Homo-oligomer: A and B are copies of this chain.
Amino acid sequence: MHITFLFYEGMTALDAIGPYEVLSRLPDTSVHSVSLKPGAIHTSSGLVLHAKNGLSDISQTDILVVPGSGYATSLNQFPEVLEWIQTINETTSWTTSVCTGSLILGAAKLLLGVRATTHWAVMDRLSQWGAIPTEKRVVESGKIITAAGVSAGIDMALMLAEKVAGKDVAETLQLGIEYDPKPPFDAGSIKKARPIIVTALREKLMKKFEKGPLLTNNKPSSQSS
């Protein structure tokens, strides 16, 4: 079983590393990192990851995981990445995303008519790519599985682990990473957080996201081409 993580400049590290930590522990699995070209990847937090493969090195995978980015990514300026996603998707059993990674799947035209989720702050942008916004922590729609913001990738990975290796293995992985979450606050979703927190963060994120060409579909004509 091959599991491949797409890395790119400005990505959110935890979007990828949450699922990476879970899925890499599956038995009989090879995990790969791939980027436009191999080498250093500067994530949004300043953490530097290393992508081992360039796009041309990976032509098949059973599971693809596309992390998101809160920063203005420039993946729209790299159509070869979106083309690679389209091509590799033809080989996958599951094509997955975390956070705004679903907007990248959308830009790769994989979400037409597909129920999907993303980070709460950009939920309305899914429909720009023809997706059906669905407010759940993890949304399964055929072989496309999308997770909500950042930390939701861990929940998605455990769900995937069960599909791949069964419930006993998935529960063992959960116990292995002692995933018995006890957040000190109950502010992890817009339904639970105090309205003043939600409003302030939404405004801050909107200002940031306005700069992100990937997160809006500025060329509607290209969507249907």
Contacts and interface: CB of A to CB of B under 8 A. Distances in A.
Nearest to A193: B175
A58 interface: no
Interface stretch (A14-22, A126-134, A217-225): A14-22
A20 B49 CA distance: 13
Given A14-B18, A21-B12, A47-B49, A187 B159 contact: no
Interface stretch (A73-81, A82-90, A101-109, A164-172): A164-172
Nearest to A40: B50
Contact of A188 (B48, B150, B178): B178
Contacts of A154: 151, 181, 183
Contacts of A151: 154, 177-181
Contacts of A177: 14, 149-151, 188
A59 B17 CA distance: 28
B187 A171 contact: yes
Contact of A120 (B12, B155, B178, B188): B178
Interface string A47-59: 1111010000000
B180 A188 contact: yes
A1 interface: no
A148 interface: yes
Contacts of A162: 184-185
A12 B25 CA distance: 11
A12 B18 CA distance: 11
A47 B3 CA distance: 13
28 contacts: A13-B21, A14-B17, A14-B18, A17-B18, A21-B150, A31-B45, A48-B50, A119-B178, A137-B182, A148-B178, A151-B177, A151-B178, A151-B180, A154-B181, A155-B183, A158-B183, A158-B185, A170-B184, A171-B187, A172-B187, A172-B197, A174-B183, A174-B185, A175-B187, A175-B201, A178-B188, A179-B181, A181-B188
